[in-house]
Structure 1
């Protein structure tokens, strides 16, 4: 940095003093990003999967030219302008996230950087308490569609998303599992690590994909990526798109990060955030990872935040869902997550199959005693639960015990 943008002078460094530093930063970003030649910009929004899709998209676009993408989830009124200011004269493409905490937020972000291609992944339950219902979430997410300059990509499997085609006069390309989707997957299969393979079928051609990222839900993210690249006119070479998707890896921490310990324990750290839909997707992936090798599965779950009036029912439903997947053990962490344990007990789990512990420290102590070589452990919760500390503790080297009296034999 060569100077500080601030509301008051800062001793010892060059300063640009402005009444509102954030507004000034946004104005700088708007002007800098729009200078010619402007990169082809793909904007992604949705209740879940934004960052994973952005990461796939950035790697696929990167196969066709220099690509700008945010680090992690820089997707709000601060993160988006900071990302926009990183563009250079060489930048040909950009993969950006657009988040919202209410109606009007995405429209504001689009006033800073309007996407050429708008991608809407889904309308789920994330932040439903803040929005006041899924129709309000759909209203907010659809602001990205209204701002699209070239093309729109919509999830044909989500009725609230598909209805957004009425909010634009730009060409619409759909993706999904049904035969009516423009970009779709057939012959989907999962390997024992939960990684999906499928046949990518499009109007431009077909090709096989074998993803390196974990979870069947990543198929939808990959379809959205392919649809955006094809509809945006980046390429019509479906085989090349499939090749790039097959080579893409996880880029953002605490999102289905899979690490295998030397003793064969697999830790799946998905603790960055959680909502009912993403929780189910992660649990299904965990169940798949036990196939073939008969590995014990342990789900360590914390609360899901910002669900409003749906909070109790959503947590209880999740507990029931976990039991139906026949997981080996459920460890529920924290008082706000108690509904998960209650739902599991009501579904028929009891005793040690479902354990409710008060905090992260107790969870770590329990898991250090119970986890055995070959186990697969999923850690997932909303960010405020702090369960990334559980995953980190599971990956720490074991602390050696005291040496026996008289020294080693």
Structure 2
């Protein structure tokens, strides 16, 4: 018997039939509605999607959802096309949970203070090499983005990798009741959103909500996480890290100086090597995380290692592009002192044999520490990276240029620009003389335009 989501969820409609794959047809953006889709109007603080029901139908929507409070306001003929629900946001979440249970694939939920998007992309690449895999697109990891992702599941999917974000205690617990993850992955516990949570221990409590899953994958090297996980009962635990007792232990990292890396692991006592042309300072531990996910799913470690080798980075997050004669590294998504140092350290360690041009822009919202932070980057460039060329963009990046020159970099290899458009105009002058171009700044400096320009045929 074909199931009816409206009947199963207790909703009301005057329509005679509802498609079984209704979740696949849901679209909450009236601007992008396509023929045959069903419009899910969401109420926000400053808008109400119900205002666009008629426009969605005019664009070809096969149907729509609406809240009971508006039943009498809808024309009778229009109402016949809809599904009446108490609350559209909750309806979206309930529909996503219903569909996730109907599809029945293995679902991996990932959270942590940092690195969620990259690990999600790596794990999805690994699993997709084995069987069809759904993943969260971008950073749609909240109470709306997560159910919209689950609604994209199809019977063909064997795995789903869902990124789960949290700004407050209870957020992961709430999402877990929708996602129903088979495997919950806790990457780390840092200081992100410490103000909202009220301290590091509160952050740990919030992130531990991911362990609602039957199996938990976690970072063994953090004693706080290790102790918290061991206190859980009736859970299967799979750990990763450099700790010798981790189920997936990172043993060694070999870099060839031109960007290729060989990572050596012990997976429950069995040696496994991952080779990749992509590398970042966090890549090794992220790879260990993915291999631990493979262990939790009872997958062949060799197949998982081969799948990881297909990963080529995430747009804006140290994404490596191989052009005709050079490498272009897009790290333009955002920047702060920690991520800037991590990116530059990766260049030093992994690409030291390549003639490099750096394009670095302002790190925004640093307050009183702005000058010292930018000068520290300039000194690091001069003393550790020694690039063939350093281009800085934005008013605060002048401090990067000044400090690089003051600490030993020849002035004729440093150029300062006020705007990104000025850099683009100069690209033909310096690009042919370098083997690698690295781009990083806060998003507001718009250095992503440089990437788009160089990648446009």
| TM-score under structure 1 length normalisation | 0.80
C-alpha contact (below 8 Å) 2:294/2:301 kept by paired residues: no
1:41 and 2:107 correspond: yes
- Unpaired segments ≥5 residues, structure 2: 1-35, 42-49, 70-86
Partner of 1:369: 429
Between the aligned partners of 2:361 and 2:275, the Cα distance in structure 1 is: 31
1:123 and 2:123 correspond: no
1:239 and 2:336 correspond: no
Q: Which secondary structure does the structure 2 equivalent of 1:194 belong to?
A: coil
- 1:59 counterpart (125, 129, 136): 125
With over 3 angstroms needed to count, the CA separation of the structure-2 counterparts of 1:63 and 1:367, relative to structure 1, is closer
- 2:89 counterpart (8, 22, 28): 22
- 1:221 counterpart (286, 297, 318): 286
Deviation at 1:224, TM superposition (A): 0.2
Deviation at 1:386, TM superposition (A): 2.2
RMSD over aligned CA atoms reads 3.3
C-alpha contact (below 8 Å) 1:130/1:306 kept by paired residues: no
Between the aligned partners of 2:405 and 2:243, the Cα distance in structure 1 is: 36
C-alpha contact (below 8 Å) 1:196/1:219 kept by paired residues: no
With over 3 angstroms needed to count, the CA separation of the structure-2 counterparts of 1:42 and 1:179, relative to structure 1, is same
With over 3 angstroms needed to count, the CA separation of the structure-2 counterparts of 1:336 and 1:142, relative to structure 1, is farther
With over 3 angstroms needed to count, the CA separation of the structure-2 counterparts of 1:90 and 1:258, relative to structure 1, is closer
With over 3 angstroms needed to count, the CA separation of the structure-2 counterparts of 1:127 and 1:29, relative to structure 1, is same
Please give the per-residue CA displacement for 1:80-118, whole angstroms capped at 9, x wherever unaligned. 111100112343221111123344433332232132222
1:331 and 2:391 correspond: yes
Between the aligned partners of 2:223 and 2:378, the Cα distance in structure 1 is: 27
Deviation at 1:183, TM superposition (A): 1.0
With over 3 angstroms needed to count, the CA separation of the structure-2 counterparts of 1:340 and 1:128, relative to structure 1, is farther
Shifted more, 321-330 versus 123-132: the winner is 123-132
C-alpha contact (below 8 Å) 1:153/1:174 kept by paired residues: yes
Partner of 1:404: none
With over 3 angstroms needed to count, the CA separation of the structure-2 counterparts of 1:88 and 1:394, relative to structure 1, is closer
With over 3 angstroms needed to count, the CA separation of the structure-2 counterparts of 1:71 and 1:291, relative to structure 1, is same
Aligned pairs, number: 388
C-alpha contact (below 8 Å) 2:250/2:264 kept by paired residues: yes
Between the aligned partners of 2:317 and 2:393, the Cα distance in structure 1 is: 19
- 2:172 counterpart (98, 101, 106): 106
Partner of 1:77: 143
Partner of 1:155: 219
Partner of 2:352: 291
- 2:317 counterpart (255, 268, 293): 255
With over 3 angstroms needed to count, the CA separation of the structure-2 counterparts of 1:360 and 1:374, relative to structure 1, is closer
Deviation at 1:45, TM superposition (A): 2.0
After superposition, residues 158-197 of structure 1 pair within 5 angstroms as 158-159=222-223, 161-162=225-226, 164-165=228-229, 168-169=232-233, 170-197=235-262
C-alpha contact (below 8 Å) 1:126/1:306 kept by paired residues: no
Between the aligned partners of 2:197 and 2:443, the Cα distance in structure 1 is: 19
Deviation at 1:290, TM superposition (A): 4.1
Between the aligned partners of 2:350 and 2:142, the Cα distance in structure 1 is: 34
Between the aligned partners of 2:436 and 2:168, the Cα distance in structure 1 is: 37
Partner of 2:360: 301
Between the aligned partners of 1:134 and 1:346, the Cα distance in structure 2 is: 39
1:202 and 2:246 correspond: no
C-alpha contact (below 8 Å) 2:357/2:434 kept by paired residues: no
Between the aligned partners of 2:441 and 2:193, the Cα distance in structure 1 is: 14
| TM-score under structure 2 length normalisation | 0.73
Deviation at 1:217, TM superposition (A): 2.2
- 1:2 counterpart (31, 37, 61): 37
Between the aligned partners of 1:343 and 1:141, the Cα distance in structure 2 is: 40
- Unpaired segments ≥5 residues, structure 1: 398-409
Q: Which secondary structure does the structure 2 equivalent of 1:59 belong to?
A: helix
Q: Which secondary structure does the structure 1 equivalent of 2:278 belong to?
A: strand
Deviation at 1:272, TM superposition (A): 2.4
